[in-house]
């Protein structure tokens, strides 16, 4: 800046000083200043955030510890499990309320045996110990091989109860005693066999045998315990025990043209169990295992003949060798199915293939190739329906049998004979 001096030297000196002042000022670069400022701010923010995070973690850990301590010390009032009467169940020392609740659920759950048996029932091991010596194996020699089943000792002098189909077509029958008697094998005599009820009675020459105790199937209820002892799949599995419940009563099944009233159980029943005992919770025989239903759609269905029904048959078999008073027509044949009926233009029913000599049917004039279509005016479509209606009569009764012969219906009077099976 010029100060008014007139000398050339003074003016030159003054100009130099002004130039030096101009170029000696601080230079200012806005971009660098912003970067530096931002870096400084980021550094400060990072420090702040780190500090905040640490503080948050400390607070969270402290809160969690406080809640955990409070729960463990029981300061929160959480309800305990209660009994049916509403009384709280105390927690044991050293356990949480939740642990006590889980433990109480596990220990209070009754077992299947407890649910299905009365208070005075025997345990399953006691039942097995009681009944097993009375269970025998049945070996039947037939023209085609050997069949294996199970039986029950009915009396100490050697009468054995089993299924009729176990000894069917047998040329020689052997009873195999339990391991209590070292599995002794004794030849058996057939006292009587009834195919319709699937009951048979055998006799062996042996004394002082442990007879089974028999109960009443009429007293059974669905859901109670059921035990099966027998020889499933053969003597290699002799004396096998299975357990379950009574699944149903009065099941009506048609098997080989015979209608049977049966007890259903989910206790495992397999081939070889036939003729063995179905046992209740007191170690009493309440049924004769007879039928195993096998299906690709279901499993675990076992069936037994009610002991009340079986004993009626047993009495006649032991006294007469057959079931007295049971009606017989004396014919055999096969069903006319709906398809055959439509194809040949004949009614559904039962076509006669054989007539027994001297039978009620022969005496009445029923012939081979007659199609039986009814009894006493009630139509039938198969042999099962025919047998069911016939069972309502007894030997000596007079019935009217409707047959289809030569394109016409005929009603033939028949006096029923007494069936003799042995």
Residues designated catalytic? 165, 198, 274
Q: What angle do CA 135, 228, 277 make, to 5 degrees?
A: 45
Q: What angle do CA 194, 195, 201 make, to 5 degrees?
A: 40
- Partners of residue 146 on adjacent β-strands: 141
Which two tokens mark 376? Answer: 């006493």
Residue among 330, 350, 362 nearest 404 (CA):
350
Which two tokens mark 400? Answer: 């009217």
- How far does CA 130 lie from the centroid of its chain? 25
Report H helices in 73-111.
Answer: 97-108
In eight-state DSSP terms, residue 199 is E
With b for 16 or more beta-carbon neighbours within 10 A and e for fewer, the 350-361 pattern comes to bbbeebeeebbb
Q: Is 8 helix (H, G, I), strand (E, B) or coil?
A: helix
In eight-state DSSP terms, residue 92 is P
Q: Which residues contact 210 (CB under 8 A, 6 or more apart)?
A: 133, 134, 153, 156, 180
Cβ atoms of 116 and 170 within 8 Å: the answer is no
């Amino acid at each position: 800046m010029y100060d008014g001096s007139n000398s050339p030297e003074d003016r030159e000196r003054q100009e130099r000083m002004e130039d030096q002042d101009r170029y000696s000022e601080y230079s200012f670069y806005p971009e660098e200043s912003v970067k530096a400022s931002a870096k400084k701010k980021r550094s400060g923010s990072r420090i702040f955030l780190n500090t905040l995070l640490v503080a948050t973690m400390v607070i969270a850990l402290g809160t969690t510890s406080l809640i955990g301590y409070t729960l463990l010390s029981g300061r929160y009032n959480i309800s305990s499990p209660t009994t049916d009467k509403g009384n709280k169940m105390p927690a044991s020392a050293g356990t949480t309320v939740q642990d006590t609740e889980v433990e109480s659920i596990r220990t209070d759950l009754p077992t299947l045996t407890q649910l299905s048996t009365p208070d005075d029932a025997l345990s399953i091991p006691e039942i097995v110990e009681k009944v097993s010596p009375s269970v025998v194996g049945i070996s039947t020699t037939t023209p085609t091989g050997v069949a294996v089943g199970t039986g029950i000792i009915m009396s100490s002098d050697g009468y054995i109860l089993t299924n009729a189909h176990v000894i069917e077509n047998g040329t020689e029958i052997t009873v195999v005693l339990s391991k209590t008697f070292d599995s002794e094998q004794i030849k058996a005599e057939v006292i009587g066999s009834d195919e319709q009820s699937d009951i048979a009675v055998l006799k062996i020459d042996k004394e002082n045998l442990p007879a089974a105790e028999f109960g009443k199937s009429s007293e059974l209820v669905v859901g109670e315990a059921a035990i099966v002892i027998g020889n499933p799949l053969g003597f290699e599995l002799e004396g096998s025990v299975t357990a379950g419940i009574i699944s149903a009563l009065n099941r009506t099944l048609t098997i080989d043209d015979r209608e049977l009233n049966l007890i259903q159980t989910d206790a495992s029943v397999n081939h070889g169990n036939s003729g063995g005992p179905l046992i209740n919770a007191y170690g009493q025989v309440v049924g004769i295992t007879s039928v195993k239903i096998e299906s690709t759609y279901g499993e675990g269905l076992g069936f037994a003949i009610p002991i009340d029904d079986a004993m009626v048959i047993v009495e006649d078999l032991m006294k007469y060798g057959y079931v007295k008073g049971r009606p017989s027509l004396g014919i055999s044949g096969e069903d006319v199915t709906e398809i055959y009926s439509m194809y040949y233009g004949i009614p559904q029913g039962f076509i006669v293939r054989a007539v027994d000599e001297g039978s009620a049917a022969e005496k009445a004039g029923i012939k081979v190739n007659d199609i039986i279509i009814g009894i006493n005016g009630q139509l039938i479509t198969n042999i099962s329906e025919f047998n069911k209606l016939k069972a309502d009569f007894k030997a000596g009764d007079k019935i009217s049998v409707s047959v289809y012969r030569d394109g016409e219906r005929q009603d033939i009077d028949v006096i029923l004979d007494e069936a003799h099976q042995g």
